[in-house]
Amino acid sequence: MWWPGTLIGAGAGFAIASIPGAMLGALLGQALDRRLNLQSWAQVRERLGGRPALRNDELLFVLLGRLAKSDGRVVDGHIQQARQEMRALDLSEAAQRRAIAAFNRGKSGNDRLRGYLRRLSTQPHAAEGVLRACWRMVWADGRAGVGERELIARWGKWLGWTRQQVQALATDYEPQKLSPPNSGVTYQEAMRLLGVSATSEPSQIKRAYRRLLSRHHPDKIAGSGATPVQVREATDKTRELHNAYRLIRERRDFR
């Protein structure tokens, strides 16, 4: 729906020349909406502020960038998680460049995101994918601070989710849930799961982990038209990979 410029044009036209002016102003405003791709007042404010409006494929990485910076410092785990999200989405080179720029833009915390998320709320699957990606980013450094939780809860509200629904997603990615103390997974089993050996270099282990994670990423599976059961299986597989990688990393003492 094209409407911010249309409403502005109609209002200005009516003030100048009553109904005929409103009709002409609305036509001119609609042309402006289409030319500048204006679909919300948030985009109008950003245009007036000199910041380009967000594309739909950039919104996720703005959110991830803000989460990564929310506790004051972006760590390597945050960067690696952002790259993993790009690989899982199978972005083109141009799209990857936009994603990196959006991630850096998100770190500034200057974007007004409510309007974008309100529009995304009409796409339930996409909204859930965004929230899941946000929780993965939060847990990338092994902990979830109060500020990060509040950000996701606020974004979830704009997406039409309750606080309880948003929090329920966190358990799928919380380290304690991913690696229960009595899981029984051994070091040898973890290496077999990742397809590595005791002599593999840390860089080889990381590549194997990321390759498998990309292959079994639940968002990627869901995007290919998988059934809910298949998505659930992919989520379980992702947990196993997280668990195995963390066990090997702790045993071999590398990050």
The domain spans of the chain are 4-48, 56-172, 187-252
Helices vs strands, H then E, count in the chain:
14, 0
Q: What is the pLDDT of residue 51?
A: 55
**Average pLDDT of span 91-104:** 92
Model pLDDT for residues 13-24, shown as the tens digit of each residue: 667 767 776 677
- The C-alpha atoms of residue 176 and residue 246 are separated, in whole angstroms, by 11
CA dist., res. 176 & res. 65, Å (int): 24
pLDDT surpasses 60 at 50: no
Please tell me the least confidently modeled range out of 10-19, 79-88, 203-212.
Answer: 10-19
Reported pTM = 0.57
Cα dihedral 93→230→120→113 (10° resolution): -60
* pLDDT score of 32: 62
232-245: pLDDT as tens digits: 788 888 888 888 88
Q: What is the CATH T-level fold of the domain 187-252, as seen in this structure?
A: Helix Hairpins (1.10.287)
Q: Give helix 41-48 / helix 4-36 axis angle, nearest 10°.
A: 70
